[in-house]
Amino acid sequence: MSTDGLTLPLWVGGGYLALLFLCALSVERRWVPSRLVHHPAVYTLALGIYASAWAVYGSLELAGRVGYGYLAYYLGVAGAFLLAPVLLLPIQRLTRTYQLASLADLFAFRFRSRWVGTLITVISAMAVLPLLALQVQTLGQAIQQFTGAPSPSLAALGFCVIIALFAVLFGARHTHLNAHHDTLLAVIAVESLVKLAAVLALGAIALFGVFDGPSDLQAWLAGPGLAHQAGVTELDPGQWRTLLLLFFAAAVLMPHMFHLTFAERLSPRALLQAGWSLPLYLLLMALPVPLILWGAQRAGLAPSGLESAYLGFALSASPWVDALVFLAGLAAASGTLILIALALSGMILNHLVLVAHPPTHQADLYRWLRWLRQGLVVAVILAGWLFYRTLGLAHDLTTLGLSSFVGMAQCLPGLLALLYWPGANRKGMVSGLVVGGGLWMAGLWLPLVTGLSPWILLPPGLEGLDDAPSWYTVTLVALAANGLTLILVSLLSRTSPGERAAAEACAADPVIRPKRLPLSVTHGADFKHHLAPVLGADVAEREVDRALAALELSPRDRRPYALRRLRDRIQANLSGLMGPSVAQDIVDRYLPYRRDETARAGEPVDDIHFVESRLEAYRSRLTGLARELDGLRRHHRRTLTQLPIGLCAFGDDDELLMWNDALAALSGIDGEDVVGARRDSLPPPWGELLGRLLSDGPRHLYKQPVTLSGTTRYLSLHQATLDADDELYGGRVILIEDHSEMKWLEDELVHAARLASIGQLAAGVAHEIGNPITGISSLAQNLRYDTDDPALLETADQIQTLTERVSRIVGSLVGFAHGGDQATAGRVKALRLREITDEALHLIQLAHRGQDVIYHNRCPAELELEGDAPRLVQVMINLLGNARDASPAGGAIEITACRREGEEGHHDHERNGIEWCVTDAGTGIDARVRDRLFEPFTTTKAPGEGTGLGLALVHGILADHHGRIHVESPPGGRECGTRIVMWLPAPGRPLSKEDDELPHEPDSDR
């Protein structure tokens, strides 16, 4: 091979690879806008990786043999993506939830066995080797056709080394296998654009360069072209459908397609959009194939004269056309080599290397895994070149490609069972795969490697397939044997509980319902100590912190529910790091469950809170009866949550399952902070209080004193037991009622009854005291006539004064005792406000409370009104008592009164009447009780210090006097204090109906 012959391909290949590096660098340095990098069109173009070197060269070869049968390669994958809602989206949800990066990860997760993942990896590696060799062979053969070199293998090796270096730099830098490779996706999208543009350009050259347009092409097909078409062997319907099935399966099962479709974290919307955009892309790729074939035939080159795979080189003698054909093949092969190497290296690492050599006692686990993976990437690409160099030269592209696709199709029965048949188990899947894989190896793979004749086992009744192509016979027999074996063995063998749980997650919802089991760890930070021996202290800390951040949990959270979620998240993260099998082994060994403390003697129940949270997340995907049932569930859940009575529910293991809104408001504890916790870990006083019921105590507790927010409240608790059966979860539910106000009212009523008894006793005592006091007064008066001694006369005057004071006190007590009697309510007479106020002040000062408060009676002496004296005294006593309690030590209370005169039609308080006010210097009244201050049982005092009936009584007495009352807090011109303003009609003023309708003003400030 001359240097001049290599110059052009080196320039073309080097320029193309430089373009890829420039594209990668632009994405890495963020020279390209993020919205463009993450556009769904980039994802669709990246999926164009399916159009490998087979699409550029192999399709020409297949079209030369079977005519339009080459379209099966494009229609099969188009059909798979058209079924994205029922086929691809369920797999995407599974891989995203559990961070499954490969087909082997998915099978190992579903069938709960590391050996299943190992078997899938071995089958995939054996099946992909011919496809890798196909990519390298197209590079070598294209270089040979381009340059005329006798041995292009070294040039192909050089390109393989460069491609391996690119894959290591931009695809294998991340430790986690399912990391999002924006750079790699963008580069593959550019490759897809390049090969599409090159193939379309070649089709245009054939149509307008070799032919003179569509009319000339039509004339040639109707004339000389008929001879070429006669040599084409059309596929029979069975072979056509089989090819469609093989390429349909390849769209999901091929390692590079699985990785790009599911391991890259792309949105479901982008995947659904690819359902129509990828078939459109493949249609454009398929259209130029017959044009190129016919153009080469028009140029006089039959497939026998030049291998039909490379007929594009015969379209023109121009080296630039040859360069275009070479560039199309290089773009198709390089992207496929990179992605297959990345995907297959991850499978080998997780399911072969790490299974044989677990990642223990590694000083830097991340670096060790990264170096292993990068080495495997290089090894896979070089293995493809070695397979091509030793074996591939003896086979055409069709043989290599079909052998690879038939081998990967052996995983199809297992995949369908994984998604749609919960009854399948690992024994059935492994048996079916071994049988089908064995038939494939005997019929296609071993003859490919050894050159021996295919060994095909035909069952009775299929003798008609003797003359069929070997790929067709092997596909039918192997897939049939595979599927039947899977079904029979699964039906005859037992499915483990783990497989049933995983099957339920795969078939219905991508979530395994975990059991409510206790863990050996006690809090989030404790996970780091348990994982440090296997992962290393640094890696354990990073992985636990990463899981805590994703779940938004505190490292000190001790709730069993939170610990179980953290364990599951760590296992998922480790699955992305080293595969589900190794991750499950590590978590089961170092973060084990304690099965000796389950609620039902070794039979753990489902984690109901987690199940409900997942139902909330997936309810938009439910349809039909499932949607109706979920709506009913949500309605009942909302009913319990918004119940105006506190409610909490516990499982049989004392784990809290519900904490409704009313209980959250009463306790001040958010339900999200305690749901999933054990009863004994609840904040005080709830752990001890609820424990009285849950520890086989009484079913009801009445008016238990509990201190909440510094206030003593009285709670009544009632529990009901939920007996568990095959359909219901067991546990207990507790209702919590706040009876504090009722308890306070009962205490005040008892106190009021006690005061009433004391009042009656005081009235009787006062009556009995009156007689001796009268006698003492008489004796004191007689002393004046029995002696002239000034000292005795002064003593007699003092005795007389004191007896009059005692008589006045006794009279006041008797009068106040009779003041509450409604029979006296009609005794209306003219009264002086100053005397009413003095009487009330005299009585209020008899109490020992508020002795340091100063009272100022500023009512004019001549101001009169008409009313019931005892009841008005009671009004003033109630108001003065409230003012005294609100005033600070040394504070002053002012009682004022004045006459208000106005004209008819003015505002009510300006009409003729008397305004009577009590003003204190307290702190004022809370706005929250201001508008309902005169309602019964409304009080601003601490519990137990007031009944809330005083102002309601005042309001009622004033209403009986056709008066009204309102509050100013603070009064005008003051910064604090409260003024109670009463309005009473002037004596002799005729009352109107309007006076009765406006007993007080609602905009008061009390």
What is the distance between the alpha carbons of residues 207 and 223, in angstroms, rounded to a whole number? 17
Q: What is the pLDDT of residues 252-303, one digit of tens each?
A: 999 999 998 888 767 788 888 888 999 999 999 999 999 988 888 888 765 5
- The pLDDT assigned to 882 comes to 85
Query: What is the arithmetic mean of pLDDT over 669-690?
Result: 86
Q: Which residues pair with 856 in a beta bridge?
A: 894
Model confidence at 948, pLDDT cuts 50, 70, 90, reads: low
pLDDT confidence of 759, banded at 50, 70, 90? low
At residue 436 the predicted structure's pLDDT band, cuts being 50, 70 and 90, is: very high
Per the CB < 8 A criterion, the answer to whether 722 and 731 are in contact is: yes
> What confidence score (pLDDT) does residue 425 get?
92
Q: Considering only residues 952 and 829, tell me which one the structure prediction assigns the higher pLDDT.
A: 829
DSSP 527-578: HHHHHHHHH-HHHHHHHHHHHHHHHT--TT---HHHHHHHHHHHHHHHHHHH
State the virtual CA torsion across 917, 918, 921, 923 in degrees, nearest 10: -90
Q: Given this model, what pLDDT does residue 902 score?
A: 58
CB neighbours (10 Å) of residue 143? 28
SS3 for 181-196 is: CHHHHHHHHHHHHHHH
Condensed to tens digits (0 to 9), the pLDDT of residues 85-105 reads 888 888 888 888 788 889 999
H/E stretch holding 918: strand 913-920
Instruction: Name the range with the highest mean pLDDT among 468-482, 493-507, 696-710, 728-742.
Output: 468-482
What's the mean per-residue pLDDT of the chain?
81
Q: Name every residue whose Cβ is closer than 8 Å to that of residue 701 and which is 6 or more positions away in sequence.
A: 692, 693, 715, 716, 717
The per-residue pLDDT for 301 is 67
Is the separation of the CB atoms in 291 and 103 below 8 Å?
A: no
pLDDT confidence bin for 841, thresholds 50/70/90: confident
Cα 256 vs. chain centroid, distance in angstroms?
A: 30
Per-residue pLDDT at 808? 65
* Amino acid 288: pLDDT: 93
- Mean per-residue pLDDT for 871-895? 86
What's the pLDDT band for 493 if we cut at 50, 70, 90? very high
Q: Give 920's strand partners.
A: 978
pLDDT > 90 in the chain, percent? 20
What angle do helix axes 103-111 and 114-147 make, rounded to 10 degrees? 170
Q: Is the dihedral of CA 685, 687, 690, 691 positive or negative?
A: negative
CA 144 vs CA 5, 54, 152, 310: distances in Å: 10, 17, 6, 10
- What is the 3-class SS of 329-357, one letter each residue? HHHHHHHHHHHHHHHHHHHHHHHHHHHHC
- What's the CA dihedral at 636, 638, 642, 646 to 10 degrees? 60
Q: Which residues contact 649 (CB under 8 A, 6 or more apart)?
A: 656, 657, 658, 722, 731, 732, 733, 734
Res. 173 pLDDT band, cuts 50 70 90:
low
Among 211-220, 228-237, 526-535, 770-779, the least confident range = 770-779
- Residue 834 predicted with pLDDT over 50: yes
Region 971-983 average pLDDT: 81
Is a pLDDT exceeding 60 seen at residue 511?
A: no
Kindly list the strands in the beta sheet with 656-659, ordered across the sheet, starting from the edge strand earlier in the chain: 656-659, 646-650, 731-738, 711-722, 700-708
CA dihedral in degrees (694, 699, 700, 706; nearest 10)? -10
Name the pLDDT band for 305 (thresholds 50, 70, 90).
Answer: very low
Greater confidence (647 vs 150) lies with: 647
- Rounded distance, CA 685 to CA 682, Å? 8
**pLDDT by residue (tens digit) across 578-634?**
888 888 888 888 888 876 544 444 466 767 777 777 777 667 667 778 788 878 888
Q: Please state the rounded mean pLDDT for residues 486-492.
A: 95
Cα–Cα dist 40/270, whole Å: 5
- Judged against a pLDDT cut of 50, whether residue 1001 lies above it is answered with no
Select, from the ranges 480-484, 824-828, 963-967, the one with the highest average predicted confidence (pLDDT): 480-484
What pLDDT, on the 0 to 100 scale, is given for residue 1003?
39
Q: What is the mean pLDDT of residues 538-558?
A: 86
378-403 confidence digits (pLDDT tens): 999 999 999 988 876 677 888 888 99
CA–CA dist 470, 468 (Å, integer): 6
Q: What's the pLDDT at 753?
A: 67
811 or 505: which leads in pLDDT: 505
pLDDT at residue 454 in the model? 79
Query: Model confidence over 634-656: pLDDT tens digits?
Result: 888 888 889 999 999 988 778 88
Q: What is the predicted pLDDT for the residue at 907?
A: 45
Q: Is the predicted pLDDT of residue 946 greater than 60, yes or no?
A: no
**Candidate ranges 200-204, 709-713, 879-883; pick with highest mean pLDDT:** 200-204
In contact, 739 and 768? CB cutoff 8 Å: no
Is residue 478 within 8 Å of residue 402, measured between CB atoms? no
At 760 the pLDDT is 64
Task: Answer yes or no: are the C-beta atoms of 320 and 549 closer than 8 Å.
Answer: no
Strand partners, 721: 732
Q: Do the beta carbons of residue 773 and residue 810 sit within 8 Å?
A: yes
Alpha helices (H) along 669-789 = 671-674, 686-694, 740-786
| pLDDT exceeds cutoff 60 at 820 | no
pLDDT for residue 726: 54
Distance in angstroms between the alpha carbons of the first and the last residue of the chain: 106
**pLDDT surpassing 70 at residue 28:** yes
In angstroms, the CA 604 to CA 653 distance is 10
DSSP state of 494: P
3-state secondary structure of 655: strand
- What confidence tens digit (pLDDT) does each residue in 49-74 have? 998 888 888 888 888 888 888 899 99
Query: What is the average pLDDT across 404-415?
Result: 94
Q: Are 713 and 686 in contact (CB under 8 A)?
A: no
How far, rounded to the nearest angstrom, does the alpha carbon of residue 128 sit from its chain's CA centroid?
A: 38
Would you place residue 241 in the very low, low, confident or very high pLDDT band (cuts 50, 70, 90)?
very high
**According to the model, what pLDDT value does residue 1000 have?**
42
User: For residue 825, is pLDDT > 50?
Assistant: no
